[in-house]
Amino acid sequence: MSNLDWVCVPRLYEVRKNHLAGRATLEHPLKQQTVTVVDINPLSLALEGTDPLSQFARQDEELNDPLSQMVSELDLKSKRRERDRIEPEDNTLQWSTRRLGILNRFTTNEKLSLSTSFLVASGSLDGGNESIKAQTVVADKTKYRLEQLDHFDDGTMRHMMDLTQPEYIQRFEQLKQELTQSWHNDQRVKALKIAIQCAKMLADTTVLQFYPSQYVLITDILDVFGKLVYDRLQAKASGLPGASAATLEREREAARDTCQNWFYKIASIRELLPRLYLELSIFKCYEFLTSDREEYEKLLRRLTHQLRGIADPLVSTYARCYLVRMGVTVTPSKTYIRENFGDLFIVYPQIFRFVARFNLHPEIVTASSYLQLYAPAFDYMLLCLVHKCELHTQDMLNECKQLKNNGAILMSILSSFTSEFIATNALEFVELINTSETPGISKSQLLRSLGSCVSSCAPLQEQRVTFLKAAFETINKLTDPNEYINCVETWAVFVSQYFTESVRVEVCKTILTYYKQNSEEYTCDAVVTNALMYLGKILNDSVNALSVEDERRQISQLINVFIHKVHFGRDLEQQLGFYVEARGTFSNLDAVYVTLVHAACKLATRNTSRSTGFIKACISYCFITIPSISAVQQQMDLYLLCGQLALRHLCLGQADACFEAALQLVNDLPAATVDFEGKPRSLERYLVSYLCNMLATLIVVPDSPEQGVLYFLRLLLDVIGKHEFKADSTAPSVIYLHALDMLYVQSLEKYPYHIKGVVSNDDLYGHDPKFLAEINNLCVQVVDAILLQLKALGVAHQQRQQAELSLDLFLRIVRYADLERETVSQLALNLWLLANKSQTQLDTKTLPQTLRVVEQLYKQLRDVAPAQAQAIAKLLLRMRNS
Amino acid sequence: MLLGCVQFQCGAETKHEGIILYLEGVVNLQLSSKTVGLFDAFYNSVKPINLLQNNLELSAPGKLSAGRSDIMVQHTEAAIKSIDMQLVRVETCGCDEGYSKDATEIQTIQIADGNVLPKLELPIYMVLPRLFTCPTLLTKNFKIEFELNLVVVFKEDYTVSENFKIVFKRSAGPLPSKMTTAGR
């Protein structure tokens, strides 16, 4: 019937829109869905707005985030474990490897003060001195001048106040130089005095949180002093080369005397703390006085006992740490170290009296950070105690059990003892942690540490399940999600390494379920994200061709929740980076990919920059991701969504690519899919609605200069023509009818809707007759296709469907086509007659209603387009006559 | 002349039934390869001969007071600021008509800094300054004696001190001679 003379008529009547009544609300009416539907609901994505206020609050939290602190600790620890393996054992106890870690970890913004008489020369440099000068009255001025004349006298102590941390560090650097310089200028007493003054400052705990760093800085100077003394004595004792034996003996004797003098000098220091530090700093020099190892041991024990006189637990702990530091360089014995711990355990409750005080005054320092101050000293001393010696391990563990508030020491045991020991006693440890109630040390901290220990060395095979259960008994009681995830992170490694897949998967699921239920907030914490990513990967990898669909769904859902929770605020690039990482990680799960595409689409809409670069990146991400999804239906949906998004953001090339890809997939769409109850469900209805959506979108898609006129519509018709529908299906005719609708809209001078910025075909062609001719041609093709359908329905004796379809087409012809053309008018009449034939099959109101519609159209056009109205009237006449 | 010093180490007070020093001198015949045949006849019949036997009572039955080398804070209500040891030299000279006594502080060192825990043994340890100390010297006209003041400084600088007489004796050792023991 290609002789049909179809010409689209302009729309001369108004199309009225019946708007729904709107109502303001605070609750999104679809919100409920976001909780339950995570898979593929595009609406859920639209609901995840980011509140800028809570974002700020989060940023504030991040500033003093204890987690990031833990990360650095963990790094330190894992680095150390690594080093234990790689480097020769002898370096393990070296202090130098730790000092930088301490300096970086313990910092302060508070003002520090320093007292010395040796930094006057550099007075012009520092603000502290300036302020003293400014405040001096006349009497003081005289004193100040006198001080300058004789500034190395003990009486002229300068108190430098209000020093910032870098200034403070710089002062100590100056003191160190001053000390070395004095020594080389033969001013040994001055060097000693500098060292004593420095050691005195170790009694100052005004800025608590800086104390470990203060200790590092000051003991650095003491180390320098100790080395200078030792090297000089060494040089003296070895004499000049080629000296006779007698001379050499004399030299050695002289060195011995000098050495003894040093010790005499130091022994007369009035204050206890500097006296002990100074003796320790030159402890190595005892080798000039005795070669008896036992003698060293005795000396160390004597010093250990003397340290009991230092009342402040923090100061005395670090002094003990220094003692051990010096001790390990001269004797492999561990007895004196053990004795130090014996004394420490006596003083230990004292620490918690401070903790109780800081619990009431957290503005000074929090209980937890106060306990952290002890960690470097405890860790080091414990490491020295158990290094290459297992004599005291068990006994320390027992002692720790008896101790009240044992968390702090337990923490250090976990980080210093060998993984093998911890693995052997794993059950004991987990029990100990479960019962440990130490203020300032949370169980999650301890469990996290234990988790990382057993990850590098697992307990006995037969204990593992009991062990894991015991640990999770406590882990599951943690209420803070971040704390939970931080703790669980290390355990995930353990589980994944040492358990069968089913246990592993179960554990991962439990953790993610916990996270899903207990965390409401978004997260951008790298530790949390990495931990969850790791768990998700285990789950993803557990899925294979044999997995049950339900399992797959469960896992996908858990991972989807996680993906939704990761939120980097305004850092969109990082967010997209995360999606890229997630795509690489969760390659087995379609539903996760769907979520990722939706998330990327949503991300594109959050772009605020003028350039389309980021949006293009998001769409490219989607375009690459979609083909990996196995369900054709989902692919089609997502292509359409992305195409629409691209169009919306004026990325025309990408939009075209998406639409093309979507249409090419139509013929891969299976005829039916299996629903949740296992029944097959035909996809034809889906296809119809999908293509309607597509057609509605295509209205505004401008033709690409590379393709012909209405390329996508042609492609759609082509695809439908080839598609195998069910026999007697009305689906193709419905699609054709809508294609006709779309074509008619294309013929209008102004389309009913546009996308801002997109030049649609109406403006592109400017109602060009050639374009209209193309449309009319296509209309004829479509009508032909529908007529073929009608014929087929007739053959199949589907009278009712045939009648309905003919009425549908009839109405469109009446509205869209020029009825003055005889072929068109005749076709309309024939359709009307065909419908009338099956009148009995139709609803009784259908035919009269159709007639009324035509009459109404006549009335609408009577005045504006008399010629058209005339044609309609003619048709009406013929209809009534028939 | 045989000189010596007996030292007891006991942390607590100890009872004793008297301290007696025994001296025994015994001579014994021994053969060498050079005298084979000469003394053979004696050899089996000569017993060790006791040349000297003496005893000396050092102390009658009684108690040895505890010779502690550490101190312990039992209980304190006021916070301790510092515990110091002050070594004092007391020089006395003169004759029956009159004595002049002169006390000099030689050295003060701190043995506890801050409010130390009670029941913790704090060692008393001081290296004696060589230039200012000597063995305790007691003559008719001239005496050099030593004393130790144990000074406890409480918060707000409230001070309590106790004086101990001490005796110095010389001994030789590989390490600096160092110990002084204060009894309580």
Residues A403-429 pLDDT 10s: 999 999 999 999 999 989 999 999 999
Confidence of residue A143 (pLDDT cuts 50, 70, 90): low
The verdict on a CB contact (< 8 Å) between A311 and B116 is yes
What pLDDT sits at residue A130? Answer: 38
Is A310 in the B-facing interface, judged by CB distances under 8 Å? yes
The predicted model gives A668-696 an average pLDDT of: 85
**pTM of full prediction above 0.80:** no
The first and second tokens of residue A846, run together, are 């259908």
Q: What is the mean pLDDT of chain A?
A: 85
Q: Please report, as a single letter, which amino acid is at residue A782.
A: V
Mutation pick from A263, A275, A288, A305 vs chain B, by most beta carbons of B within 10 Å, is A305
**Chain A residue closest in CA terms to B130:** A264
What pLDDT sits at residue A179? Answer: 94
Taking the C-alpha atoms of residue B179 and residue B172, their distance in angstroms, rounded to an integer, is 12
The first and second tokens of residue A230, run together, are 């030792």
The verdict on a CB contact (< 8 Å) between B130 and A264 is yes
Q: Is the pLDDT of residue A52 over 50?
A: no
With a pLDDT cut of 90, the percent of chain A lying above it is 50
What pLDDT sits at residue A87? Answer: 38
What pLDDT sits at residue A64? Answer: 44
| Ranges A124-133, A396-405, A435-444, B159-168: which has the least confidence | A124-133
Residues B1-57 pLDDT 10s: 676 777 777 777 888 888 888 888 888 877 777 766 666 666 666 778 888 888 888
Query: Residue A391, SS3?
Result: coil
Say which of B80, B109, B175 has its CB closest to residue A290. Answer: B175
Per the model's pLDDT, the better-predicted residue between A77 and A404 turns out to be A404
DSSP summary character for residue A668: G
Residues A742-755 pLDDT 10s: 999 999 999 999 99
What pLDDT sits at residue A72? Answer: 47
Taking the C-alpha atoms of residue A583 and residue A567, their distance in angstroms, rounded to an integer, is 16
Is the CB of residue A171 less than 8 Å from the CB of residue A119? yes
Is A295 in the B-facing interface, judged by CB distances under 8 Å? yes
Say which of A260, A271, A347 has its CB closest to residue B110. Answer: A271
Is B179 in the A-facing interface, judged by CB distances under 8 Å? no
Residues B55-104 pLDDT 10s: 888 888 888 776 687 888 888 889 999 999 999 999 999 888 888 999 99
Mutation pick from A270, A308, A340, A343 vs chain B, by most beta carbons of B within 10 Å, is A308
- Which residues, 6 or more positions from A320, have their beta carbon under 8 angstroms from its beta carbon? A304, A307, A340, A343, A344, A377, A381
**Domains located in chain B, CATH noted:** 14-64 (no CATH), 70-166 (2.60.40.640)
Residues A851-862 pLDDT 10s: 999 998 999 888
Residues B112-135 pLDDT 10s: 999 999 888 999 999 998 889 999
- Other beta carbons less than 10 A from residue A708's beta carbon: 9
Residues A816-872 pLDDT 10s: 999 888 899 999 999 999 998 888 888 888 888 999 999 989 998 888 888 888 999
Dihedral, CA atoms, A584, A590, A595, A598, nearest 10 degrees? Answer: 90
| Ranges A235-249, A250-264, A446-460, B128-142: which has the least confidence | A235-249
**Chain B residue closest in CA terms to A348:** B117
What pLDDT sits at residue B172? Answer: 56
* Unique residue bearing structure tokens 């320098």: A224
Is A261 in the B-facing interface, judged by CB distances under 8 Å? no
Chain A environment of B83 (Cβ under 8 Å): 309
Q: Please report, as a single letter, which amino acid is at residue A523.
A: T
Is A707 in the B-facing interface, judged by CB distances under 8 Å? no
ipTM of the complex: 0.73
Q: Looking at CA atoms only, how far is residue A127 from chain B in angstroms?
A: 32
Per the model's pLDDT, the better-predicted residue between A129 and A102 turns out to be A102
Q: Is the pLDDT of residue A42 over 60?
A: no
What are the extents of the domains in chain A? 112-289, 292-417, 419-567, 588-665, 686-797, 801-882
Is A308 in the B-facing interface, judged by CB distances under 8 Å? yes
> How many CA atoms, within 13 angstroms, populate the side-chain half-sphere of residue A565?
26
Confidence of residue A131 (pLDDT cuts 50, 70, 90): very low
Residues 89-108 of chain B with CB under 8 A from chain A are: 107-108
Is A260 in the B-facing interface, judged by CB distances under 8 Å? yes
The predicted model gives A683-699 an average pLDDT of: 92
Is A291 in the B-facing interface, judged by CB distances under 8 Å? no
Chain A environment of B116 (Cβ under 8 Å): 308-309, 311
Confidence of residue A485 (pLDDT cuts 50, 70, 90): confident
What pLDDT sits at residue A90? Answer: 64
Q: Is the pLDDT of residue A23 over 70?
A: yes
- Which residues, 6 or more positions from B141, have their beta carbon under 8 angstroms from its beta carbon? B93, B94, B95
The verdict on a CB contact (< 8 Å) between A264 and B129 is yes
The predicted model gives A16-40 an average pLDDT of: 61
The verdict on a CB contact (< 8 Å) between A268 and B130 is no
Q: Looking at CA atoms only, how far is residue B174 from chain A in angstroms?
A: 7
Is A287 in the B-facing interface, judged by CB distances under 8 Å? no
Q: What are phi and psi of A357, to 5 degrees?
A: -65, -45
Is B130 in the A-facing interface, judged by CB distances under 8 Å? yes
The first and second tokens of residue A493, run together, are 């490694």
Q: Looking at CA atoms only, how far is residue A143 from chain B in angstroms?
A: 28
Chain A environment of B71 (Cβ under 8 Å): none
**Nearest CA to A534 among A497, A479, A483, A564?**
A497
Chain B environment of A290 (Cβ under 8 Å): 174-175
The first and second tokens of residue A426, run together, are 């794993």
Mutation pick from B71, B105, B116, B131 vs chain A, by most beta carbons of A within 10 Å, is B116
**Chain A residue closest in CA terms to B107:** A268
What pLDDT sits at residue A31? Answer: 59
Is the CB of residue B31 less than 8 Å from the CB of residue B43? yes
Termini Cα distance of chain A:
23
Chain-centroid distance, C-alpha A712? 41
Taking the C-alpha atoms of residue A539 and residue A492, their distance in angstroms, rounded to an integer, is 11
Is A142 in the B-facing interface, judged by CB distances under 8 Å? no
Sign of the C-alpha dihedral, residues A774, A775, A777, A781? positive
Per the model's pLDDT, the better-predicted residue between A326 and A80 turns out to be A326
Is B83 in the A-facing interface, judged by CB distances under 8 Å? yes
What pLDDT sits at residue A832? Answer: 92
Q: What are phi and psi of A539, to 5 degrees?
A: -65, -45
**Chain B residue closest in CA terms to A270:** B109
A769 class by beta-carbon count within 10 Å (0-12 exposed, 13-18 middle, 19+ buried): exposed
Chain B environment of A302 (Cβ under 8 Å): 123, 125
